[in-house]
Chain A
Amino acid sequence: MNNPLVAIQNLSVGYQTQKVLENVTFEIAPNDFVGVIGPNGGGKTTLIRTILGLIPYWEGSIRYHIKSSKIGYLPQINPIDKDFPISVFDVVLSGLAGKKGLWKKFNPDDKIYALSLLEQAGIIHLKNKSIGRLSGGQMQRALLCRALMNQPELLILDEPSTFVDNQFEHELFGWLKSLNQNMAILMVSHDLGIISSHVKTIACVNRKLHYHQSNKITQEQLTHYNCPIKLITHGEVPHQVLAPHKL
Chain B
Amino acid sequence: MQAIIDLFSYTFINHAFMAALLSSIICGVLGTYIVSKRMVFISGGITHASFGGIGMAFYFGMPPFLGATLFAMISALGIEWISKKGNVRNDSSIGILWSLGMAIGIIFVYITPGFTPNLMSYLFGSILTVSASELWVMAVLAAFVVIFFSVFYRPILFFAFDEGFAKSQKAPVNFLNYTMILLIALGIVMNIKVAGIILVMSMLTLPQNTANLFSNNFKRIIIYSIVISFVGTMAGLAGSFWLGIPTGAAIIFTLSFIFFLAKLIKMVYERRNRQSNEQITDSVNG
Residues of A bordering B, CB below 8 Å: 15-16, 52-54, 68-69, 71, 73, 75, 79-81, 84-87, 90-91, 93-102, 106, 130-133, 146, 150
Q: How far is the CA of A95 from the CA of B154 in the complex (A)?
A: 11
Taking a contact as CB atoms under 8 Å apart, the answer to whether A85 and B217 are in contact is: yes
A98 to B176, CA, bound (A): 13
Give the dominant DSSP class at B's interface.
Answer: helix
Q: In whole Å, how far is A159's beta carbon from the nearest beta carbon of chain B?
A: 14
Choose among B152, B172, B176, B218 the residue that contacts A86 (Cβ–Cβ < 8 A). B218
Q: Identify the closest chain B residue to A130 (Cβ).
A: B216
Of A84, A91, A95, the most chain B CB neighbours within 10 A belong to A84
Q: Is B170 interfacial (CB 8 A cutoff)?
A: yes
Q: How far is the CB of A131 from chain B (nearest CB, A)?
A: 8
User: A97 contacts B166, CB within 8 Å?
Assistant: yes
Chosen A-B contacts, 18 in total, with CB atoms closer than 8 Å, are: A15-B87, A54-B164, A54-B167, A68-B170, A69-B170, A75-B165, A79-B164, A80-B162, A84-B160, A91-B161, A94-B154, A94-B157, A94-B162, A95-B169, A97-B159, A97-B171, A130-B216, A150-B169
| A14 → B minimal CB distance (Å) | 12
Q: Say whether B168 contacts A94, CB under 8 Å.
A: no
Contact B87 A87 (CB under 8 A): no
Query: Footprint of A on B, CB under 8 Å?
Result: 32, 36, 38, 87, 152, 154-155, 157-162, 164-172, 175-176, 212, 215-218, 221
Docked pose: A120 CA to B165 CA in angstroms: 22
Total of A-B residue pairs, C-beta within 8 Å: 89
Among the listed B36, B165, B176, B221, which residue makes an inter-chain contact with A102, where contact means beta carbons less than 8 Å apart?
Answer: B176
B198 nearest CB across to chain A (Å): 26
A84 touches B36 (CB 8 A): yes
Contacts of B162 in A (CB 8 A): 75, 80, 94
**Complex interface: chain B residues within 8 A of A80 (CB):** 162
Taking a contact as CB atoms under 8 Å apart, the answer to whether B216 and A97 are in contact is no
B-side contacts of A101, CB under 8 Å: 155, 171-172
CA distance A15 to B164 in the complex (A): 17
Task: Enumerate chain A residues within 8 angstroms of B165, measured Cβ to Cβ.
Answer: 73, 75, 94, 97, 146
A99 near B169: Cβ-Cβ < 8 Å: yes
Determine whether the beta carbon of A53 is less than 8 Å from that of B152.
Answer: no
- Contacts A15-B87, A75-B162, A100-B154 given: A69-B217 contact, CB under 8 Å? no
The smallest beta-carbon distance between B84 and chain A, in angstroms, is 12
Which of B161, B165, B212, B218: most chain A CB closer than 10 A? Answer: B165
Contact status of A53 and B155, CB under 8 A, knowing A84-B161, A85-B216: no
